[in-house]
Amino acid sequence: MTIRRLLPFLAWRDRVTWENLRFDMIAGLTGAIILVPQGVAFATIAGMPPEYGLYAAMLPAIVAALWGSSWHLVSGPTTAISIVVFAAISPLAEPGSPTFISLVLTLTFLAGIFQLILGFLRLGTLVNFVSHTVVVGFTSGAALLIASSQVGNFFGVPISRGAAFHEVIGGLMTQLGHLNLYVTSVATVTVMACVLVRHWRPRWPYMIFGMVVGALLASALNQWVGGKETGIRTIGTLSVGLPPLSSPDLRWKTIEHIAPIALALALLALTEAVSISRSVALKSGQRIDGNQEFIGQGLSNVVGSFFSGYASSGSFNRTGLNHASGAKTPLAAVFSAVLLLLIVMFLAPLAVYLPIPAMAGILFVVAWGLFDWHYMKGVLRVSRSEGVILIATFVATLSMPLEFAIYVGVVLSLILYLQRTSRPGLDVVEPHPGVRPLAFRLGDGLAEYPQLKILRLNGSIFFGAVDYLQDELQRVQRENPQQKHVLLVASGINFVDTAGARLLSHEASRLQAMGGGLYLFNLKEEPMSTLQRNGDYEIIGPENFFPLGSDPVQAISPRFKDLQARSVR
């Protein structure tokens, strides 16, 4: 293991200049201000005490920044991860209880271990199988779950904590005549304040403004009417200082129960982090090392589990803000975590004035922002299969345990991928007249060769595609019995496995027995070497392979028994 793998921050030490440090400090301060309301809100979603959301944005964020590969990724608590944590652990313990906190820390530790293992095994491409459509479907479903979890706090009606989405809606409908108008007004005004500030002053911290406006209204109502009459409750005092030591429950029985959930959480968190890193890297021109990002995220969660931080990942809005604020190095995330600690130590006593309805309003705003309307409209308009995956993942998120909802989306994506790759395109083509070196175009039926069929294969030949290709090649033979010579334009074949090599040699032998042959034009080096290693190259015949620049049609023509081909040349 190289020193840069152990200490990856050495790779960007040359970027640390006084000018860049100034930009990083400004970006860090901006991010720290945003983190105050977000940390509290995300901890509320996760069912954790509010301070744990702030702790998750401190030391874990520093570790992820220093041991990851992105210059701009900001890690910490996120909406999707928080809702998964709550949904997975709330059936096992009362949210906010010591047992619940211990299980969440265990979940965080195991997710970090899984991420480290994937990183050290260099499986950074694994997250590519969690498509963006799956993430959007899951996030949209999670947005509704976040909003539904705050319905009781938003409208001031009793709703069982952890109730299913349909149960929350049903409970709200039956209590419409008993809404607490004081509570509802505070939550609604908070939402309106956030929306207006975000619209008219997009660079301002709209969540903080919304919280302040909601708190002022709640305070006024309590003074005017009385706290008992309004029913407006507050979060209470935050006891925030240096992240205290914590201890995950590492008993085997607990690990055995939590591990499957932790694996799903690890994959979701890695998908978030890597996709966000790559998205920002397109703007900054940086190259992202997915394996190193896995290691950085894994270390941050392992460390966080021992310092009162629950599961964290890359945050899209904080990362985007970090880049837009001019951050130059990962030190911006480090400054953000340190400044966050200083800010909350000063502001923690003020949390006693933060009303729970205002926090519910903030979470409604967060939930609305999770819907990627533009992407969803595009998917539903352009691709029916992707639309099915989007809707299925969305429905699964609302109706199933969240860790399994992720698996539903991944499995559907893999099925779609395999369906596509197992049916590679096989087009009838013909030589392009007057073009040298020889090129082929889609056939129009005007340039047929009575004894030769020219096909272009667009896709790899692997075990999953063998049956389909065999049926297609034999169908061509049945429809045109006289065309016993088949020329495959093979430039689109990137990969051939053992089963695929066996198919080609089998088809070559079958056609040769009928007095014809199978020929391959412009086959790439990798599939060619597979055929040579397996011995199928000799069965097909070395003379039946034609490199780019040759004219296979002219070379094959003398082998026809009936030379009545109509040439287009």
Q: Which of 190-199, 212-221, 438-447 has the lowest mean pLDDT?
A: 438-447
Q: What would the two tokens of residue 34 be? A: 């945003």
Res. 235 pLDDT band, cuts 50 70 90: confident
Asked if 121 and 145 count as a contact pair (C-beta separation under 8 A), the reply is no
567: DSSP letter: P
Which amino acid is it at 133?
T
The pLDDT of residue 569: 43
The pLDDT of residue 448: 59
- Judged on CB neighbours under 10 Å (0-12, 13-18, 19+), 213 is buried
Alpha helix ranges (H) inside 400-534 = 402-421, 466-479, 498-513, 525-534
The pLDDT of residue 9: 84
Res. 568 pLDDT band, cuts 50 70 90: very low
**36-70: per-residue pLDDT in tens?**
778 888 898 899 998 999 999 999 999 999 999 89
Give the span between the Cα atoms of 216 and 505, in whole angstroms. 79
Res. 162 pLDDT band, cuts 50 70 90: low
Contacts of 83 (CB under 8 A, 6+ apart): 45, 46, 142, 145, 146, 149, 402
Q: Which of 178-187, 306-315, 341-350 has the lowest mean pLDDT?
A: 341-350
**Which single residue is written with the structure tokens 């034609």?**
546
Res. 166 pLDDT band, cuts 50 70 90: confident
The pLDDT of residue 200: 92
* Mean pLDDT to the nearest integer, 541-560: 87
pLDDT above 90 for 107: yes
Q: Are strands 75-76 and 313-314 parallel, antiparallel or unpaired?
A: antiparallel
pLDDT above 90 for 8: no
Contacts of 496 (CB under 8 A, 6+ apart): 460, 461, 462, 504, 526, 527, 530, 531
* Mean pLDDT to the nearest integer, 443-459: 76
Spatial CA neighbour of 108 closest among 297, 244, 239: 297
Percent of the chain with pLDDT over 90: 42
pLDDT above 50 for 181: yes
Q: What would the two tokens of residue 403 be? A: 């860790």
What is the length of the chain?
A: 569
Q: Which of 278-282, 344-348, 363-367, 439-443 has the lowest mean pLDDT?
A: 278-282
When comparing pLDDT for 343 and 523, which is higher?
Answer: 523
Which amino acid is it at 124?
G
Most confident of 251-255, 270-274, 344-348: 251-255
Spatial CA neighbour of 534 closest among 498, 496, 504, 508: 498
Percent of the chain with pLDDT over 70: 94
Report the largest interatomic distance among the alpha carbons of the chain, rounded to a whole angstrom: 103
* Mean pLDDT to the nearest integer, 335-359: 84
The pLDDT of residue 274: 82
pTM above 0.85, yes or no: no
Asked if 568 and 431 count as a contact pair (C-beta separation under 8 A), the reply is yes
Which amino acid is it at 138?
F
Res. 504 pLDDT band, cuts 50 70 90: very high
pLDDT above 50 for 230: yes
Q: Which of 107-116, 160-169, 262-271 has the lowest mean pLDDT?
A: 160-169
**Which single residue is written with the structure tokens 């220093």?**
66
pLDDT above 70 for 446: no
Q: Which of 115-124, 441-450, 475-484 has the lowest mean pLDDT?
A: 441-450
Res. 447 pLDDT band, cuts 50 70 90: low
**114-153: per-residue pLDDT in tens?**
999 998 888 877 776 777 788 788 878 888 887 888 899 8
Q: Which of 280-284, 377-381, 387-391, 559-563 has the lowest mean pLDDT?
A: 559-563
Res. 403 pLDDT band, cuts 50 70 90: low
pLDDT above 90 for 255: yes
SS (H, E, C) 94-131: CCCCHHHHHHHHHHHHHHHHHHHHHHHCCCHHHHHHCC
> How far from chain centre, in Å, is Cα 555?
50
pLDDT above 70 for 363: yes
Which amino acid is it at 320?
G
- Taking the CA atoms of residue 492, residue 498, residue 502 and residue 504 in that order, the dihedral angle to the nearest 10 degrees is 10
Res. 561 pLDDT band, cuts 50 70 90: low
**325-343: per-residue pLDDT in tens?**
788 899 999 999 999 988 8
